[in-house]
A = this chain, B = another copy of it.
Amino acid sequence: MSDNKIVFLEQSKMPTHYYNILADLPVPMDPPLNPATKQPAGPEDLSAIFPMDLIMQEVSTERYIEIPDEVRDLYRISRPTPLIRAANLEKELDTPAKIYFKYEGANPTGSHKTNTSYAQAYYNKKAGIKKLVTETGAGQWGSALSMACKHFGLECEVFMVKVSYNQKPYRKTFMKLFGATVHASPTNLTNAGRKVLEADPDSPGSLGIAISEAVEVAVQRDDTNYSLGSVLNHVLLHQTVIGEEAKLQMEMVDDYPDIVIGCAGGGSNFAGIAFPFIKDKLSGERKNLEIIAVEPASCPTLTKGKFDYDFGDEAGMTPLLKMYTLGHDFIPPKIHAGGLRYHGMASSISHLYNQGIISASAYEQLEVFKAAQIFAQTEGIVPAPESSHAVKEAVEQALKCKETGESKTILFNLSGHGFLDLGAYELYLENQLNGG
């Protein structure tokens, strides 16, 4: 670990604006559709569950959108996050590649999700909303929103996918500690949940089901909104502070990545690190830049899904989104990367993939944990199972460089730590983890 180079960016250089990739798409994305009329969905289709500021961000094509001061103040708790040269990992792999990672796990909730939770809670508070309802997979998004709500004095209710609720009991406690109410989804509290439980009382749940439950609760009250941790344009927009900072930090070490890697469930941390770099690729400045979204082999949305209109949730309450999808009723296997167990992929990322601007890969659970342990032992950070997918791809790319002798610069996003996922690591160490 002695050779690690940590690149700190001064707080005064923290980005003042989010980067909106919609301004730079060579071909525009297909719009979301109202599920009843099949016509493009307008702001009014979303106003029952989102505040107007966020809806405007959702549809904006402005290139840069200012970050409110109140949100930047909160970012200062842990931003800018460090960019770290993984010199010990390089040594262990004996690779000529240079590996950097952006570390988003050293903030209070342990993942990148606060980048958008602070913003979403802020805009909802501003709109007079009293309560936010949401879904969560592994619990990182729920944790981030719980903390943001506590800060802005909002109530918070979380539907946590049941399999993760059982796999990661500490996450539930974390959310409760910050005052949130947490349910294992599917529940008997909603029509959507009851319908699933009738068909399968032992349903492990899915993000799609949890979203349906949360939306159903949110639409019932005027003072209550829904909040989503990934997928939508405005959520991905908020995450671009990651990549904007990383670009400045790569500049500080006089380098620029040949390959940018992020794990992708709904796509938010991937977009966060990748979009600001994709801007350079689209402008022609960095034509050869490779950008890779990594997913679990057991939930292979980009690599094996269909590019089509589908619902964002299980019950079909959301607008239809054009995206790579495994079908909104797909129930992913019970892998421990709960944040990657989503049937679809953000429309913007799906569009970029369909256009050949980014590529994708998929790995099985066991090989991902193996890479995670090597990373932990060399770099001293236990990665979240989700983030470990990015680690695995970075290792693969570095080993490819070893074969070819190329000294490529690899940048990946370490979206969160795995302190609350050690239950899964215990199974891995005891050879009780399936391949997934």
Q: Do A77 and B110 touch (CB < 8 A)?
A: no
Q: Do A74 and B1 touch (CB < 8 A)?
A: yes
Q: Do B177 and A382 touch (CB < 8 A)?
A: yes
Q: Do A77 and B147 touch (CB < 8 A)?
A: no
A305 near B: Cβ within 8 Å? no
The listed residue (B77, B380, B381, B429) touching A176 by CB distance below 8 A is: B429
Given contacts A110-B419, A419-B110, A419-B420, contact A70 B173 (CB under 8 A): no
Interchain CA distance A108-B105 in the complex, whole Å: 11
- Which residues of the other chain, B, contact A70 by a CB distance below 8 angstroms? 2
- Which residues of the other chain, B, contact A423 by a CB distance below 8 angstroms? 169-170, 173
A4 near B: Cβ within 8 Å? yes
A6 near B: Cβ within 8 Å? yes
Please provide the chain A residues from 372 to 397 with a CB less than 8 Å away from any CB of chain B in the complex: 373, 376-377, 380-382
A425 near B: Cβ within 8 Å? yes
- Which residues of the other chain, B, contact A287 by a CB distance below 8 angstroms? none
A179 near B: Cβ within 8 Å? yes
- Which residues of the other chain, B, contact A381 by a CB distance below 8 angstroms? 108
- Which residues of the other chain, B, contact A178 by a CB distance below 8 angstroms? 376-377
A76 near B: Cβ within 8 Å? yes
The listed residue (B77, B177, B377, B420) touching A4 by CB distance below 8 A is: B77
Given contacts A177-B373, A377-B179, A420-B419, contact A426 B106 (CB under 8 A): no
- Which residues of the other chain, B, contact A147 by a CB distance below 8 angstroms? 380
- Which residues of the other chain, B, contact A422 by a CB distance below 8 angstroms? 169-170, 173-174, 177, 420
- What number of copies of this chain does the assembly contain? 2
* Interface residues on chain A, number (Cβ under 8 Å): 42
Residue interface bits A154-193, CB-to-B below 8 A is 1, else 0: 0000000000000001101110111100000000000000
A66 near B: Cβ within 8 Å? no
A73 near B: Cβ within 8 Å? yes
Q: Do B380 and A419 touch (CB < 8 A)?
A: no
Interchain CA distance A422-B6 in the complex, whole Å: 30
Interchain CA distance A377-B179 in the complex, whole Å: 8
Q: Do B73 and A2 touch (CB < 8 A)?
A: yes
Which has the most chain B C-beta neighbours within 10 Å: A8, A179, A422?
Answer: A422
A304 near B: Cβ within 8 Å? no
Q: Which residue of B lies closest to A108 (CB)?
A: B380
- Which residues of the other chain, B, contact A172 by a CB distance below 8 angstroms? 426
Q: Do A429 and B177 touch (CB < 8 A)?
A: yes
Q: Do A380 and B106 touch (CB < 8 A)?
A: no
Residue interface bits A235-262, CB-to-B below 8 A is 1, else 0: 0000000000000000000000000000
Q: Do A425 and B173 touch (CB < 8 A)?
A: yes
CB distance from A312 to the nearest CB of B (A): 30
- Which residues of the other chain, B, contact A108 by a CB distance below 8 angstroms? 380-382
Given A2-B70, A2-B73, A419-B419, 9 more contacts at CB 8 Å?
A1-B73, A1-B151, A6-B76, A108-B380, A169-B423, A170-B423, A173-B422, A173-B426, A177-B382
Q: Could you list some 5 contacts between A and B, CB below 8 A?
A: A147-B380, A150-B377, A169-B423, A174-B382, A178-B377
